[in-house]
Structure 1
Amino acid sequence: MAGRPLIGISTYIEAGARWGVWELEAALLPVGYPRLVQRAGGLAAMLPPDAPEHAAAAVARLDGLVIAGGPDVEPSRYGAEPDPRTGPPARARDAWELALIDAALAAHVPLLGICRGMQLLNVALGGTLVQHLDGHAEVIGVFGRHPVKPVPGTRYAAAVPELTSVPAYHHQAVDRLGAGLVVSAHAEDGTVEAVELPSEDWVLGVQWHPEMGEDVRVLRALVEAAATRPGS
């Protein structure tokens, strides 16, 4: 591939975004995501929610895909009733990002899920989620940090081989693994912190938020996979 690979990042719609004299509906993405893609050697492209049937066409133009963090996945997506502590559904975003994931898997496009993105990857492959982790209450709007231990021999461990402190903000987690996924990192309490597909396709999900830290290794691994995949 000549030049930097193009990495798409899913975004979301907010009704009351404000800038200057304006308060309008906007497609938003925290700037940490595109900055991290850029620091890792890629070109960042924002993907606002669209009709799910357009996902394959969008993914066909990309070299890699990031599914960003955000609200809780609607429990009906994995056959569960909502827990009272589960947030309100984001149905249009769920539908769009699930379609993006399906399209990336079908087209063998390198895929990274971040926080909600990892959970949605698990759901897309038939897995389930823990809707609330007792003892994981976090200060609203403040990222915490905790150590993550890689599982030797995994794709994640190849990128980040040592115990690492990571920025995190979540109250849900992977429960039953989706088809084909393996765990590639844990928190000290056993919470699943990374999952991946052990195949030639580069597919990884991390529960934390690398865009809120300085470590670019996970994103660099995605960008390198995007730059070297067949047909790129």
Structure 2
Amino acid sequence: MSDPETPGGAPRPVIGISTYRQTANWGDWRHIPADLLPADYANSVEKAGGVPVLLPPLASEEAARIALSRVDGLLIAGGADINPARYGQEPDPHVTFWQDDRDAWEMWLLAEADHQRLPTLGICRGMQMMAVAAGGSLVQHLPDVVGHSGHGGTEAGYSSTDVTVDESGRLAGLVAEHLTVPSHHHQAVDEHPGFRVTAQDADGVTQAIEADGDRFSVGVQWHPETADDLGVFQGLVAAARERAARRG
């Protein structure tokens, strides 16, 4: 029986999502190493018509190759800062924590996704990792550049940022030209070889990047998984579905 949520009865594509690995507490368990991800990511992929599969940080390039050979699309999720050594810089005083195992895993995932031409979406840190993996760099502490901390969230969670989308980009077919988005970041993409900027905010901060060509390779700086905004997830799932159909 075909899935009624999938247009034309096509199989629902499988989307791999990168995760955190850190200690956590739940029930009677305390300080247990765990593979974690806010459920909003998987829920958004499912609502967009995909089947989410979590990809915990593993310790080899071969594992990334095997994992991505079994999925139809890749989502690099948000999280901690990237080690500045990955883009040839010393840490800013505001950059005090990173996860080298996750950095390495996502670098391998992105390299393999490029090799397989796998549809890829990066969210917040995920967009930043896409730029770094391509040989780019980051603004390590955005308030030092824009003069305020409005991008960095609030005590209640996320702050709001007004974004303008370039009408000529792929993203313009997925979201409105002007939108207010949930933000929670103190860093931003600086250099981004192989990508072009397709959304910015009033401060000139890069809010979205896209690779040229027909492959879906999009990063957004905001957190669409926390809002009622499925556009970018639907774009990823549609591209993954098309790729799965071509593979037969």
Q: Same-fold call, TM > 0.5?
A: yes
Q: Using the alignment, how far apart are the partners of 1:186 and 1:112 within structure 2?
A: 17
Please state if 1:95 is matched with 2:104. yes
How many pairs does the alignment contain? 230
Match of 1:174 in 2: 189
Matching residue's letter, 1:92: D
In structure 2, what is the Cα distance between the partners aligned to 1:194 and 1:149? 10
Greater Rg by CA: 2
Q: 1:30 aligns with which of 12, 20, 38?
A: 38
Segments of structure 1 that go 5 or more residues without pairing to the other structure are none
- Partners of 1:164 and 1:225 in 2: how far apart? 23
Question: Does 2:226 correspond to 1:219?
Answer: no
64-73 or 19-28, which deviates more: 19-28
Write out aligned runs for 1:181-192 (5 A). 181-192=195-206
TM-score of the two chains, using structure 1 as the length reference: 0.96
Q: 1:109 to 1:2 in 2, by over 3 A?
A: same
Provide the alpha-carbon RMSD of the alignment. Answer: 1.3
1:70 aligns with 2:79: yes
| Amino acid across the alignment from 2:139 | V
- Given the alignment of the two structures, is residue 18 of structure 1 paired with residue 33 of structure 2, yes or no? no
> Secondary structure of 1:223's partner?
helix
Deviation at 1:139, TM superposition (A): 2.5
Partner of 2:120: 111
Structure 1 match to 2:247: 231
Mapped partners of 1:150, 1:19: distance in 2: 40
1:203 aligns with 2:225: no
Q: Following the alignment from structure 1 to structure 2, what is the Cα–Cα distance between the partners of residues 204 and 182? A: 10
Q: Distance in 2 between matches of 1:112 and 1:138?
A: 22
1:96 & 1:84 partners in 2: Cα distance? Answer: 25
Aligned to 1:79: 88
Match of 2:10 in 1: 2
**Which amino acid in structure 1 is aligned with residue 89 of structure 2?**
A
**SS of residue in 1 equivalent to 2:93:** coil
Q: Which amino acid aligns with 1:51?
A: A
8 Å Cα contact 2:198/2:210 also seen in 1: yes
Corresponding residue for residue 129 of structure 1: 138
Following superposition, which runs of at least 4 residues in structure 1 exceed 2 angstroms of deviation? Answer: 136-141
- Structure 2 residue matching 1:157: 3-state secondary structure: helix
Structure 2 unpaired stretches of 5+: 1-8
Q: State the shift of 1:26 in Å.
A: 0.8
SS at match of 1:57: helix
